[in-house]
Structure 1
Amino acid sequence: MNKNLVNEAESLLNPAKTNRRDFLKTTAVATMGVGYVAAAEPVMAQAIKTDFEGIVAQEVTFSSKGFDVPAYVARPKVTPKKGLPVIFVISEIFGVHEYIADVARRFAKQGYLAIAPDLFTRAGDPNTLGTMAEILKEIVGKTPDEQVLSDISAGVAWAGKNGGDIKRVGITGFCWGGRITWLACAQIPQMRAGVAWYGRLVGDKTPNNPLHPVDLAPQMKAPVLGLYGSADTGIPLETVEQMKQALQAAKNNKAAQAAKFEIYPEAPHAFHADYRATYREGPAKDGWDKCLAWLKQQGVV
């Protein structure tokens, strides 16, 4: 199997609590934003539940090169004349489940038009597959970066026609979505800022993943805040250091020079995922505060 996909899987798993087969057997998502990927983990009571007071949320579709991409969208009930700041919420490899939908609602509570697109929709539904290996091979492995970025760009255009201010667009993502956040901030001109939660920075080059964040440092169009854990077994700190050096070497690129990292001591991968045993309240809350502050500092909101 592609080493990139293996690394993605190893980061997501909590080896002390579950194995690949048990992890996937617990997956239960009926519709977009309903149900959790790791429903059987014994820490579900800690999962954050964001209500709908003052906001509205719905599933929409937008056209991307003739294909209808579904997305979970949350927004304030009232849209100001100047439009809403836009934030894209990019999922882990499991697509748009309740955790991602809840994060979108959290952003809506902060005044954003939050869009969580189902970027795996062409390849299929991860919840119909029985093992981690199948999801990686049949879903993630068949989803090209070029297609993902094209879909996000189409989402920006949709936002501009539906109450969003496309001069104020940001992106944040978790795990697989963290890597996509870096790519989007290097390749989508409308992006103003990004926040990457434990997104992979280096990897093997393949037809579907021809470039990784470390390769794109000189091309950054928007500054990224990277939030990482020192105990992440899938993203060694030396790869974070590689990325830092690549950004620092891009002397004439303001966005690259403006990028920042926050490394949380002893935090594992997926420390923000409040529905999982990997959740760490301190780093998760601090990271969220820094995420909001970063987006404000960069003029998204």
Structure 2
Amino acid sequence: MGRDIAIETSHGLVDGWLAEPDGAPRGALVVVQEIFGVNEHMRSVTERFAASGYRALAPSLFDPVQADVELGYGEDGFARGRALAAQLGFDRALAIVAAAAERLRGDGLKVGVVGYCWGGSVAYLANTRLGLPAVSYYGARTVPFLQEPLRAPMLFHFGADDASTPPADVEAHRSAHPDAELYVYPGASHAFNRDVDPAHFHAESADLALKRTLAFFEAQLS
């Protein structure tokens, strides 16, 4: 079971949800939220990584703008989440990710980043700008940054039916970073890992993507 912690960052204290494995951790992960905040779903994702042997920390990235953000998946939540992400900006998001990674390194653990939706693009930038191994789930805002060189191993997951990442955008990722792992999941749309949202969840794709993600981090953080 996870717990709330405070993370010291260059933008003040930020809350985080920290989940610990039962035994000695095999590595550590910064889990980067969707635009809906560190809500029940993101806490469960963080705990799932802990159950797989990782110390996992999901920082509440919106705290410098608005504390305790937990949004629903309706139109109001979507609109508010987009506004908060724009107000925060990628630079502040990355500063918080960097602080969370530093917190996790305290016991000499290797650190990776995994992010979802908007957080998938933050995870990509954590690779290019912070040098952290990263996994991006359906990061639809990454295209403007594809000229940035990777500084660590990278894994991309995309849904084949995701209108926010059309085939041309997926191919742009593949062309820009041919050495990265990249998978496209037939039958999956955006947010296919969001198991609390039946309109988007695609169990087969989510299970396969998690297996590939865990294999990636096993290789990079062991």
Q: Which residue of 1 aligns with 2:214?
A: 292
Q: How high is the sequence identity, in percent, across the aligned residues? A: 27
| 1:108 to 1:65, Cα distance in 2 relative to 1, 3 A | same
1:76 aligned partner, one-letter code: P
1:281 aligned partner, one-letter code: A
Given that residues 39 and 70 in structure 2 are in contact (C-alpha distance below 8 angstroms), is that contact kept between their aligned partners in structure 1? no
Aligned length: 217
In 2, Cα distance between the equivalents of 1:227 and 1:151? 23
Q: Which residue of 2 aligns with 1:194?
A: 134
Given that residues 11 and 64 in structure 2 are in contact (C-alpha distance below 8 angstroms), is that contact kept between their aligned partners in structure 1? no
Q: Does the alignment pair 1:154 with 2:136?
A: no
1:116 CA displacement: 0.3
Q: Does the alignment pair 1:136 with 2:58?
A: no
Gap regions ≥5 residues in structure 1: 1-51, 204-211, 249-256
1:230 CA displacement: 0.8
Q: Which residue of 2 aligns with 1:272?
A: 193
Gap regions ≥5 residues in structure 2: none
| 1:153 to 1:87, Cα distance in 2 relative to 1, 3 A | same
Q: How does 1:1-301 map to 2 (within 5 A)?
A: 52=1, 57-65=2-10, 67-79=12-24, 84-125=26-67, 126-127=69-70, 131=76, 132-137=78-83, 139-161=84-106, 163=107, 165=109, 168-189=110-131, 191=132, 193-202=133-142, 212-216=144-148, 219-248=149-178, 257=179, 259-277=180-198, 278-298=200-220, 300-301=221-222
Given that residues 214 and 246 in structure 1 are in contact (C-alpha distance below 8 angstroms), is that contact kept between their aligned partners in structure 2? yes
**SS in structure 1 at match of 2:62:** coil
| 1:127 to 1:196, Cα distance in 2 relative to 1, 3 A | closer
**SS in structure 2 at match of 1:89:** strand
Moved more, 149-158 or 193-202: 193-202
CA deviations over 1:18-41 (Å, ceiling 9, x no partner): xxxxxxxxxxxxxxxxxxxxxxxx
In 2, Cα distance between the equivalents of 1:128 and 1:201? 20
1:92 aligned partner, one-letter code: E
Given that residues 201 and 243 in structure 1 are in contact (C-alpha distance below 8 angstroms), is that contact kept between their aligned partners in structure 2? no
For the aligned residue pairs, the C-alpha RMSD in angstroms reads 2.0
Which is greater in Rg? 1
Q: Which residue of 2 aligns with 1:17?
A: none
Given that residues 61 and 68 in structure 1 are in contact (C-alpha distance below 8 angstroms), is that contact kept between their aligned partners in structure 2? yes
| 1:134 to 1:240, Cα distance in 2 relative to 1, 3 A | same
In 2, Cα distance between the equivalents of 1:186 and 1:63? 23
1:215 CA displacement: 2.5
Given that residues 22 and 53 in structure 2 are in contact (C-alpha distance below 8 angstroms), is that contact kept between their aligned partners in structure 1? no
**SS in structure 2 at match of 1:143:** helix
Given that residues 36 and 71 in structure 2 are in contact (C-alpha distance below 8 angstroms), is that contact kept between their aligned partners in structure 1? no
1:195 CA displacement: 1.2
1:134 CA displacement: 3.7
1:213 CA displacement: 3.4
1:194 CA displacement: 1.4
Given that residues 135 and 156 in structure 2 are in contact (C-alpha distance below 8 angstroms), is that contact kept between their aligned partners in structure 1? yes
In 2, Cα distance between the equivalents of 1:66 and 1:177? 18
2:182 aligned partner, one-letter code: F
**SS in structure 2 at match of 1:293:** helix
1:267 aligned partner, one-letter code: A
In 2, Cα distance between the equivalents of 1:66 and 1:149? 11
1:202 CA displacement: 4.4
In 1, Cα distance between the equivalents of 2:138 and 2:87? 22
In 1, Cα distance between the equivalents of 2:43 and 2:108? 18
1:69 CA displacement: 1.1
